[in-house]
Amino acid sequence: MTTLPPFVPLLVASIGGYLLGSVPVAVLVAGRRGADPREIGDRNPGFWNVRERLGGRTAAPVFAGDMAKGVLAGLLGLLAGGAHTAGAGVVAGASAPAAYLAVAAAMIGHAWPVFAGFRGGRSVLTFTGGVAVICPPAFVLALAVLGVVFLLTRSFAIGARAGVFAIPLLQLPFAPIGHVAATGALMCLIGLRFGQAALAARRA
């Protein structure tokens, strides 16, 4: 039996993840309504901008599609790394670096998509979808945080932010600290994209 070099699963995860992330879901969906989310509202081709400008019904497939990109990328990395998981389905062993790399690549693809002129979004939903594969219990608990905060504030936006920001803490009981740090690193990309958007708005 031929053994693949160790870099091959990482290469598959990174290239596949990037191409998955590069699918411009918001641009495709909004385009059916004759709009380009990169030219309206806050110019972010993502769920929130589409929802605010074109309504929740139009934005729903954007929400599902952007999250699916993270899920599919995470699954690609998991399988490329040999499908190793620990308790509750948390990625483990050789699958962990491949899964994290695939999700990171999908987030980069969403932020700078090759299929949409490298003008992308902030990767929040793609990150969240990736977490659903990387650490399913943390994902479920984040949904619970979202629900509780929504009930208290009646704001889905605030609930979503609370759920996302809580993910590293929610991951701690289920994954090694190195995995939690890697999740934090993924979140830094989101912070970078928000920072870039703030600078662009200031210059406008």
pLDDT tens-digit series, residues 21-73: 999 999 999 999 999 999 998 889 999 999 999 999 999 999 999 999 999 99
Residue 196: band (very low, low, confident or very high) from pLDDT cuts 50, 70, 90: confident
Read off the pLDDT of each residue in 146-173 and give the average, rounded to a whole number: 95
pLDDT in tens, 68-89: 999 999 999 999 999 999 989 9
> What are phi and psi for residue 31, nearest 5 degrees?
-60, -30
Nearest of 56, 178, 200 to residue 122 by alpha carbon: 200
> Which sequence spans correspond to the domains of the chain?
7-203
DSSP state of 85: B
* Distance in angstroms between the alpha carbons of the first and the last residue of the chain: 59
Mean pLDDT over each residue of the chain, to the nearest integer: 94
Contact 123, 192 (CB under 8 A): no
Give the Cα separation of 78 and 70 in Å (integer).
12
Q: What six digits make up the tokens of 72?
A: 């599919």
pLDDT band at residue 139, thresholds of 50, 70 and 90?
A: very high
> 3-state class of 91 per DSSP?
strand
